């Protein structure tokens, strides 16, 4: 099993291009309050320079549906990632594939996730008062034996030293990293390279391509029956 890699919190063109060159499958642009927040204008400029094969994903937290849709259209995002209390109805109202994030407190979080018909679900660590990007892990055993409603992207405190253990424990379709590839709050090229190379050790090239086709189809078409 080889998983999809998303580098989140992109704020500049150089990092975006390097991440793509190093093999990132998706890049995340944060439009919610955060130290990694980027303006729609800056994101659009970066996105326009990226190859079509790299998915561009916008991160939002409880923004109005119209605002999310407007930014998605303006920046030409492939999908949006929602980290707030957005309801299933909210997700369905968007005319763009949705990755719904859930902060895992326990099995009850997974029951909540099962209510959503989205392109993918992202599992992050629960930290009170924080919507994400905390650099914390959660108890991966919580999701053991769970049958998810859509492909799973694992986030929360991942870095080169724990990502293989995380993949073997959760068996996600993808992994999402931000602070784990930073030094002093800035994206670190060496850490991005090491993270991607480490993830690529799992499985074979043909298997990776099959999985990526499944996940890209799920994200780009909203086909939630693509599986993990």
Query: Could you tell me the fold of the domain covering 4-221?
Result: TIM Barrel (3.20.20)
* Residue 93 scores a pLDDT above 60: yes
> Quick one: average pLDDT of 75-96?
96
pLDDT the model gives residue 42? 98
pLDDT tens figures, 31-47:
999 999 999 999 999 99
* Residue 228 scores a pLDDT above 50: no
Q: What is the mean pLDDT of the chain?
A: 88
Positions marked catalytic: 8, 124
> Quick one: average pLDDT of 133-152?
84
Q: Are 72 and 41 in contact (CB under 8 A)?
A: no
* Residue 71 scores a pLDDT above 80: yes
What are the residue ranges spanned by the domains of the chain?
A: 4-221
Sole residue written with tokens 């060496």: 190
More confident residue, 144 or 113: 113
β strands within the chain, DSSP E: 4-7, 26-30, 55-60, 79-82, 98-104, 120-125, 152-154, 174-177, 182-183, 186-187
CB-based contacts of 128, cutoff 8 Å, min separation 6: none
pLDDT the model gives residue 226? 42
pLDDT tens figures, 205-215:
555 566 567 66
Worst-scoring range by mean pLDDT, 22-26, 64-68, 155-159, 207-211?
Answer: 207-211
**Angle formed at CA 216 by CA 51 and CA 177, multiple of 5 degrees:** 75
List, as one string, the DSSP characters of 85-147. ---HHHHHH-SS-EEEEEEESSHHHHHHHTT---SEEEEEE-BTTB-S-------GGGGTT--
Worst-scoring range by mean pLDDT, 4-8, 37-41, 215-219?
Answer: 215-219
* Residue 220 scores a pLDDT above 90: no
List b or e across 61-83, with b for residues whose CB sees 16 or more CB atoms inside 10 angstroms.
Answer: bebebeebbebbeebebbbbbbb
Q: Are 206 and 107 in contact (CB under 8 A)?
A: no
Q: Indicate the DSSP class of residue 170.
A: H
Worst-scoring range by mean pLDDT, 34-48, 93-107, 160-174, 207-221?
Answer: 207-221
pLDDT the model gives residue 227? 42
Give the phi and the psi of residue 54 in degrees, each rounded to 5.
Answer: -95, 120
């Amino acid at each position: 099993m080889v998983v999809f890699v998303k580098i989140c919190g992109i704020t500049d063109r150089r990092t975006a291009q390097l991440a793509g060159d190093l093999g990132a499958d998706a890049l995340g642009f944060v439009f919610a309050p955060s130290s990694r927040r980027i303006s729609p204008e800056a994101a659009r400029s970066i996105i326009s320079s990226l190859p079509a094969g790299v998915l561009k994903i916008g991160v939002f937290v409880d923004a109005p549906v119209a605002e999310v849709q407007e930014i998605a259209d303006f920046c030409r995002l492939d999908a949006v990632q929602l980290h707030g209390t957005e309801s299933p109805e909210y997700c369905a109202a968007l005319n763009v594939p949705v990755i719904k994030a859930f902060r895992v407190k326990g099995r009850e979080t997974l029951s909540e996730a099962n209510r959503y018909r989205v392109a993918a679900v992202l599992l992050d660590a629960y930290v009170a008062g924080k919507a994400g990007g905390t650099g914390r892990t959660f108890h991966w055993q919580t999701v053991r034996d769970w049958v998810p409603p859509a492909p799973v992207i694992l986030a929360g405190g991942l870095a080169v030293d724990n990502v293989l253990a995380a993949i073997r424990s959760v068996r996600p379709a993808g992994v999402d990293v931000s602070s784990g590839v930073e030094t002093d709050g800035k994206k670190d090229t060496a850490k991005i390279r090491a993270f991607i190379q480490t993830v690529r050790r799992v499985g074979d090239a043909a298997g990776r391509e099959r999985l990526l086709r499944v996940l890209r189809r799920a994200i780009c078409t909203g086909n939630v029956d693509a599986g993990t």
